[in-house]
Amino acid sequence: MCLAVKSPAVADGPFAEIDIGAGTTNATVFSILSQFRDRRWLKDRLGFFGAHSTPVGMDALDDAIAKSENHSEGNGVDYRGEEKRFVLGSASVYQDVLSGIRDAYVSAYQRGFRKFSIAEASSFRNHQVFITGGGSLLPAVTERFRKHASNYSDQLKIRKLDVPLDFWDQNGKRVSQEDLTFLAAAYGLSFDAAEVPEAA
């Protein structure tokens, strides 16, 4: 989340971040916090409230696609990167996987809720959501995170991380928006330790 803290496009406030990888989905509920310094408010800290990981990710979704296409289990790798071609319908084979992916966020929120003050509980009713990893490229997956973990009626806003102007690949080209979903952590790791936001 170093990228979000450094980006002028992202204000302080409550957020969730869900990283949907190949074998796992990892979620955290946190706030970007500001401090008044040098006569202005500066984003400089992260406050983490809850986190959770589930052993369900894009591998499981690819296996579900293979199963729905009447291929034996284990052939899911044949569908890697091709998931957008398939309608992920209401069949239980899909719903079980999509629910497992969402469970990481719901569990992280529930763990965080126990630590919220009254003001934090109120602000997290409308938190924004960052989604990274391969699953972030699939609308059928990301749309499930518009619904709040506590099932409030208001829809949550899904945020995209903006590609930083100073993020280039080894060929001298700016990193693309699609590649950023896989490289956001690498960007954060490029900062000197003194520049990394303090985290509690």
Strands 13-20 and 25-37: antiparallel
User: What does the pLDDT look like over 95-144, one tens digit per residue?
Assistant: 889 999 999 999 999 999 999 999 999 999 999 999 999 999 999 899 99
**Radius of gyration over alpha carbons of the chain, in Å?**
18
Question: What's the predicted TM-score (pTM) here?
Answer: 0.87
- pLDDT value of residue 72: 60
Distances from the Cα of 146 to the Cα of 1, 93, 155, angstroms: 20, 22, 5
- pLDDT value of residue 8: 85
Of 34, 47, 18, nearest to 129 by C-alpha is 18
How far is Cα 18 from Cα 102, in angstroms, rounded to an integer? Answer: 9
User: What does the pLDDT look like over 31-69, one tens digit per residue?
Assistant: 999 888 888 888 888 999 999 999 999 999 998 888 888
pLDDT beyond 80 at 70 = no
- Per the CB < 8 A criterion, the answer to whether 65 and 76 are in contact is yes
pLDDT beyond 70 at 9 = yes
User: What does the pLDDT look like over 27-37, one tens digit per residue?
Assistant: 999 999 988 88
- pLDDT value of residue 71: 67
Q: Walk me through the domains of the chain, giving residue ranges and CATH numbers.
A: 2-199 (3.30.420.40)
Starting at the earlier edge strand, list the strands of the sheet with 40-54. 157-159, 128-132, 13-20, 25-37, 40-54, 198-199
User: What does the pLDDT look like over 141-178, one tens digit per residue?
Assistant: 999 999 999 999 889 999 988 898 888 888 999 999 88
- pLDDT value of residue 150: 94
pLDDT beyond 60 at 74 = no
pLDDT beyond 60 at 73 = no
